[in-house]
Structure 1
Amino acid sequence: MTGSGPETAAERRRGGSAAGPQQRGTGARALFRELTGGDAAGVWSAPGRVNLIGEHTDYNEGFVLPFAIDRRTAVAAAPRADGLLRVVSTFGDGPVELPVAELGRAHAAGELRGWSAYPLGVAWALGEFGADLSAVPGADLAIDSSVPVGAGLSSSAAIESAVALALTELWGLELSRETLAKVGQRAENDAVGAPTGIMDQSASLLGERDAAVFLDCRSLAAEVVPLGFAEAGLVLRVIDTGVRHEHATGGYRERRASCEAGAAALGVPALRDLEVADLDRARELLDDITFRRVKHVVTEDRRVLDTVRTLRADGAAAIGPLLDASHVSMRDDFEISVPELDVAVAAARAAGAVGARMTGGGFGGAAIALVPAEAVPALSAEVEKAFAARGFAPPAQFTVVPSDGAHRDP
């Protein structure tokens, strides 16, 4: 995300607060009362996500396996009669307001900027998917979040999904969750300017407790896959390096362009259409950098499919080698890791993790480690020690739990 993020500086260092639904809703409701002097009609919340495996495969029409986490963004909201859309957040400088009917003009003029581009962009994108923005009422939206920003946990999709769900209900729209995922992606791509795929919004809207969302990013067919971490005595630790990335610019765009160039050179609509057996031909046709980008995506798609198969056949404890191989591929072939991420992964493995990898778009953010519950203290200590030895700032470390997707809070 651009601008300030949805937690204080202290919470960023700790990885954000894992506030429960009631606490989160209370924060959003209190902010709403500050904004309006009255009570919200309701609170809607949506989770961040961890991508268990499948990085940079989504915009290549491939496969991903994310899950919703127990850190959420809450939106307290109520309709307005005057057609004004007003948004405020715990991570912004103050209210931002715009007539709903002006969203199209403001988008075309590039006036949707900073943190407010996310909620305002969602409202604009709802118009792209059938909402009559000249007829819907306005709304007041107050946003609070416990999803760490820039850690690869998709704080942006949590905002988009919560706002989309809130406005859909306030405006009486009949849109499926699959369509709302497209709304969030359109907002991210066109209003914010980040060239991301649809994985994050899908995980935030479709997630279920103790399960991942196996998503085909071409057909958008989604299947819930039980994870069984607790049954296997495992927990998923996030190691937030504190190195912040920005997806709207730089390396992310370059990687996507390389993938598109590779697909064009190989005569396929998207890298999804290649098999591992096609890599020998790809090596002959492509320059070394483009080949390695293609190799990562093709092999990562295979790893997602293998992870789903392994979870079903052998359980969570058996997927470690696939997580490890994913990190090596991102480090060496896609070149999106950073030293802090590599240190986090190596330290986690040394401390007993069954598997570890960086997660998210890369160039910073977080690593994940699947670890026996009893080994968490040793892992935390080993990671702290390894970061100190390299002169890195201490990372934030915390456990995330596969959780339900977006909903209206009680």
Structure 2
Amino acid sequence: MTLFTGANSELNRAAHAGFESRFHRPAHDLWSAPGRVNLIGEHTDYNDGFVLPFAIDRRTVVALAPRPDRIVRVASSFAGDIVELTLDELAPENLHGWSAYPLGVAWALGQFGADLTTVSGFDIYIDSDVPVGAGLSSSAAIESSVALALNEVWDLNLDRPTLARVGQLAENRVVGAPTGIMDQSASLLGQINSAVFLDCRSLEAEIIPFGLDEAGLELLIIDTRVSHSHATGGYSARRQSCEAGARLMGVKALRDLSVDDLDRASTVLDEETFRRVRHIVTENQRVLDTVQVLRESGCAAIGDLLDASHVSMRDDFEISAPELDLAVVTARGAGAIGARMTGGGFGGAAIALTPTELVPTVTTAVLAAFTLAGFATPDLFVVHAADGAHRE
């Protein structure tokens, strides 16, 4: 009899039962990976910049069992179909829909040294409580859990920074979303009660204690339920603007510009490209400032940086939405000490750093504001910084 205990026990049981229901045999083992919240540092990752995400206590669980043949089958709690093909058919052009995430990882592992002509096939079942389309990186949670599982089952011995690159390659080449490496890094490297300070150029990561409990604060998620997709045009257009700005400014990436370079940028770039560049340059500085403030003064002192980040994303990068703006301004008015949209934008979620005793007040105010505006009812919940991917 398989026993499941701990915080993820219900999700683990569901994944185990779902595997048996679909494949009519027990899973070999379970692996899980968390979603993430980006505390600050939006769209800086693909510009070789700095980010400060943390893994959250919402997870994706993968139940897996090897097969004696070369067939791979994937199923999930959020799709009725079982997708089946052979290892020989693993190629970006053959992978579509939701299954592109887990199967794209299997293909990408082949690009990082796995010999797909000798490894075994597998059956995988995926269950998750990471909200989809909320900017909490449900995709990276799938990619990271599958990467960790296959890394063990196939005896690849790849380290976690490499597995993050595997997930990013799957998302870029197979899913078609031009994202950076932040999400997978947070999902794989996260630690409880801490954020991951990541240099997206060197991939050096440092764990920064967060200290919410000691400060009497909670991080409230406001999922606007406005869905977004990084594989569609808005995200790609922002990346293209950043690349054009770097090229025109004569640097490898916008990471190489500082706030002092913005005066010159305003004379070199057209107005829109300048605003895109200004967001990235100032956001990189805000990440560095946030890390310094966390070290010196604690999380209660970062509210102004969160607010400034949202204004920059709203006005310079233009990736917010009316629902996100309403969530941020309402949360601040009801007592949150800082708030911003999080994730790639065009929908998704906002975060509000809120005194514990004011979480009900902020929640009530946001729900009322959304009702008054005629928006769909948002989903509000508190998240905590959690450990990264692991075998269950």
Indicate the TM-score class for this superposition, using the shorter chain for normalisation.
over 0.9
| Equivalent-residue separation in structure 1 for 2:259 and 2:232 (angstroms) | 30
| Equivalent-residue separation in structure 2 for 1:227 and 1:138 (angstroms) | 41
Instruction: Determine the structure 2 residue equivalent to 1:285.
Output: 268
Could you give the per-residue CA deviations for residues 25-75 of structure 1, whole angstroms, max 9, x where no partner exists?
111111111122221111000000000000000000000000000000000
Instruction: Determine the structure 1 residue equivalent to 2:130.
Output: 147
RMSD: 0.8
Q: Give the 5 Å matches for 1:8-407.
A: 20-104=7-91, 107=92, 110-407=93-390
**2:350 partner SS:** strand
Residue identity (%): 67
**Match for 1:242: what amino acid?**
R
| Equivalent-residue separation in structure 2 for 1:130 and 1:217 (angstroms) | 22
**Match for 1:246: what amino acid?**
S
**Match for 2:278: what amino acid?**
K
| Equivalent-residue separation in structure 2 for 1:266 and 1:332 (angstroms) | 22
**Match for 2:331: what amino acid?**
A
**Match for 1:260: what amino acid?**
E
Give the drift of 1:21: 1.2
| Equivalent-residue separation in structure 1 for 2:377 and 2:86 (angstroms) | 44
Give the drift of 1:128: 0.2
Give the drift of 1:249: 1.3
| Equivalent-residue separation in structure 1 for 2:64 and 2:297 (angstroms) | 45
**Match for 1:334: what amino acid?**
F
| Equivalent-residue separation in structure 1 for 2:153 and 2:279 (angstroms) | 43
| Equivalent-residue separation in structure 1 for 2:182 and 2:132 (angstroms) | 17
| Equivalent-residue separation in structure 1 for 2:176 and 2:256 (angstroms) | 27
Q: Between Structure 1 and Structure 2, how many residues are aligned?
A: 387
Give the drift of 1:20: 3.5
| Equivalent-residue separation in structure 2 for 1:326 and 1:67 (angstroms) | 17
| Equivalent-residue separation in structure 2 for 1:35 and 1:168 (angstroms) | 23
| Equivalent-residue separation in structure 2 for 1:20 and 1:192 (angstroms) | 31
Instruction: Determine the structure 2 residue equivalent to 1:7.
Output: none
| Equivalent-residue separation in structure 1 for 2:94 and 2:237 (angstroms) | 25
TM-score (norm 1): 0.94
Give the drift of 1:83: 1.0
**Match for 1:158: what amino acid?**
A
Could you give the per-residue CA deviations for residues 183-218 of structure 1, whole angstroms, max 9, x where no partner exists?
000000001000000000000000000000000000
Give the drift of 1:255: 0.4
Instruction: Determine the structure 1 residue equivalent to 2:3.
Output: none
Give the drift of 1:101: 2.1
| Equivalent-residue separation in structure 2 for 1:171 and 1:119 (angstroms) | 15
Give the drift of 1:111: 2.0
| Equivalent-residue separation in structure 1 for 2:22 and 2:223 (angstroms) | 33
Give the drift of 1:123: 0.2
**1:149 partner SS:** coil
**Match for 1:177: what amino acid?**
R
| Equivalent-residue separation in structure 2 for 1:210 and 1:175 (angstroms) | 26
TM-score (norm 2): 0.98
| Equivalent-residue separation in structure 2 for 1:111 and 1:81 (angstroms) | 23
| Equivalent-residue separation in structure 2 for 1:265 and 1:36 (angstroms) | 54
Runs of 4+ aligned residues of structure 1 deviating over 2 Å after TM superposition are none
Give the drift of 1:178: 0.5
**1:388 partner SS:** helix
| Equivalent-residue separation in structure 2 for 1:125 and 1:394 (angstroms) | 38
| Equivalent-residue separation in structure 2 for 1:327 and 1:385 (angstroms) | 22
Give the drift of 1:385: 1.4
Could you give the per-residue CA deviations for residues 88-131 of structure 1, whole angstroms, max 9, x where no partner exists?
00011211011112213xx2xx2211000000000000000000
Give the drift of 1:391: 1.1
**1:95 partner SS:** strand
**Match for 1:23: what amino acid?**
E
| Equivalent-residue separation in structure 2 for 1:188 and 1:37 (angstroms) | 30
**1:23 partner SS:** helix
Give structure 2 stretches of 5+ with no counterpart. Answer: 1-5
**Match for 1:140: what amino acid?**
D
